[in-house]
Structure 1
Amino acid sequence: MQNIENPATEKIIDAELSDRIASRLNALRETLPPSVKLVAVSKYTSVAAMRAAYAAGIRDFGESRIQEISQKQQELQDLPDITWHMIGHLQSNKVKQALSICDWIHSIDRLSLAQQCDRFIPELKRSPKLCLQVKLAHDPDKFGWEVEQLLADLPTLLQCQNLNLVGLMTILPLGLDETQAYQVFQDTAKLAEKLRSLGWTNITELSMGMSGDYAIAVKAGATLVRVGSRIFS
């Protein structure tokens, strides 16, 4: 039998998607103080789901691949007030494109990447907000500065005059219990405080916490949480 699409059915499906996402967002917002920005992690998520989240008030979307941001920007051109957050590992050959299309890059995870950004920003005449990705617990599977290396690199980072550095980002290692997770988030907040005491007064944002641990991150001082599955799954 020929499969004939039913527009009425499609509208019902869209309505169900919108209602589900709106309900989840409302429940999530009730757990967040006004000072915390919710970044909806939309990687692997359809544009239809993103439109539903937008209709429910989301303006900040997080993606882990530059090519996916670029494609979704094309499909969502009619929503010009979206703020695009790059939250995944950034390859050196994608730096220029990332600076061109992202409003935030949370994953500046090494000195050479920061220096690349510093070189390209004057040419592009565009300076996204940047977070330094740090590791406060050893994890060979995660990118980012360990504390000692970051402190050693600060004098060189200071020579990067074009960077709009605004905060720190961290991702927890797998397998931590709640107490251990809270300690890592607290240590990240303390590192930001230390950097401010050293003159880096613009390091005020803390991008910490995902779907499974955002509440602990908020308790430790997160200003941005990156939540995906609690919204879209």
Structure 2
Amino acid sequence: MTIAENLDKIMGQIPSDIRLVAVTKKKSVAAIKEAYNYGIRDFAESRVQEALEKQEQLQDYQDICWHFIGHIQTNKAKKVLENFHWIHSVDSLKLAEYLDKLAAKTFISPHVCLQVKILPDPNKYGWTVEELWQDLPELESFKHIKIDGLMTILPLGLSQVECLDTFEKTKKLATKITEKSSLQLKELSMGMSNDYLLAVEKGATMIRLGTIIFGERD
């Protein structure tokens, strides 16, 4: 199957208002161009250096919207802020605060999602639900980053029922925070190649797809 054929199949399965973010980690610039020629404009990377090298080669593609989906070390935060329109992986109060301060200095105001762990997962970064409620007053005080939604990555090995339940809980959490705070969490970044249809069923607005579009990583 070609990239275009894979995208055809996916596009036939999801509503037109879902934002398909193509994850291009360890994929070539040629593959990105192929997806771009199909009509994809949202691309995600999780490693800063690799992303910057690709962006350098794609300078003529001005309408690409770049998403960062990896863990952010403090020393890389400024580069992420300057080179990505969306940051899905804001996973701690400390990072959110640091990005807000950087945004104030650089006059760049990125869209961000708060990374949340609905289920315990020692292999993932992010807030637990309790921690997020605890940090909410401070998150509300940030003026320079746009906190637009929640992002979640499911633990491995869940059943379909558990996946659906976790996605549903993520949506309910976003709704509740929007009702009880000044944050407007309209975006839900959830669903990857193996579970995106379940995420869409439970209200995802953005899905992050790599393998199912481009094939296994090199």
Q: Give the TM-score range, shorter chain.
A: over 0.9
Is the Cα–Cα contact under 8 Å of residues 90 and 126 in structure 2 kept in the other structure?
Answer: yes
- The runs of at least 4 consecutive aligned structure 1 residues that moved more than 6 Å come to none
The Cα shift of 1:159 comes to 2.0
Q: Which deviates further from its counterpart, 191-200 or 216-225?
A: 191-200
Superposed counterparts of 1:91-102, under 5 Å: 91-102=73-84
Within 5 Å, give how 1:115-154 maps onto structure 2: 115-154=97-136
Aligned-partner residue type, residue 156 of structure 1: E
Aligned-residue offset at 1:152: 0.4
Unaligned runs of 5+ in 1: 1-18
How far residue 58 of structure 1 moved from its aligned partner, in angstroms, is 0.7
Matching residue within 184, 202, 215 for 2:166: 184
Correspondences of 1:17-96 after superposition (within 5 Å):
20-96=2-78
Partner Cα separation in structure 2 for residue 129 and residue 190 of structure 1: 21
Name the structure 2 match of 1:175: 157
Structure 2 residue aligned with 1:230: 212
| 1:202 CA displacement | 1.8
* Residue matched to 1:193: 175
The alpha carbon displacement at 1:69 in A equals: 1.5
TM score, norm. by length of structure 1: 0.90
SS in structure 1 at match of 2:208 = strand
Instruction: Determine whether 1:214 maps to 2:214.
Output: no
Secondary structure class of the residue paired with 1:143: coil
Aligned residue for 1:38, secondary structure, equals strand
Q: Secondary structure at the match of 1:194?
A: helix
Q: Residues 71 and 89 of structure 2 are in contact (CA less than 8 Å); yes or no, is this contact kept in structure 1?
A: yes
Worse overlay, 109-118 or 155-164: 155-164
Q: Which has the larger radius of gyration?
A: 1
1:112 aligned onto 2:125: no
Q: 3-state DSSP class of the match of 1:105?
A: strand
- TM-score computed with the length of structure 2 as normaliser: 0.97
CA distance in 1, matches of 2:163, 2:184: 25
Q: Deviations over 1:157-200 (max 9, x none)?
A: 12212121100000000000100011110000000011011133
Q: Which runs of 5+ in 2 are unaligned?
A: none
**Cα deviations by residue, 1:7-46 (Å, 9 ceiling, x for unpaired):** xxxxxxxxxxxx8111111111011101210000000100
After the TM superposition, which residues 158-169 of structure 1 pair with which residues of structure 2 at under 5 Å, given as runs? 158-169=140-151
What is the count of residue pairs matched by the alignment? 215
2:140–2:182 CA contact under 8 A, matched in 1: no
Cα distance in 2 for partners of 1:30, 1:201 equals: 33
Partner of 1:14: none
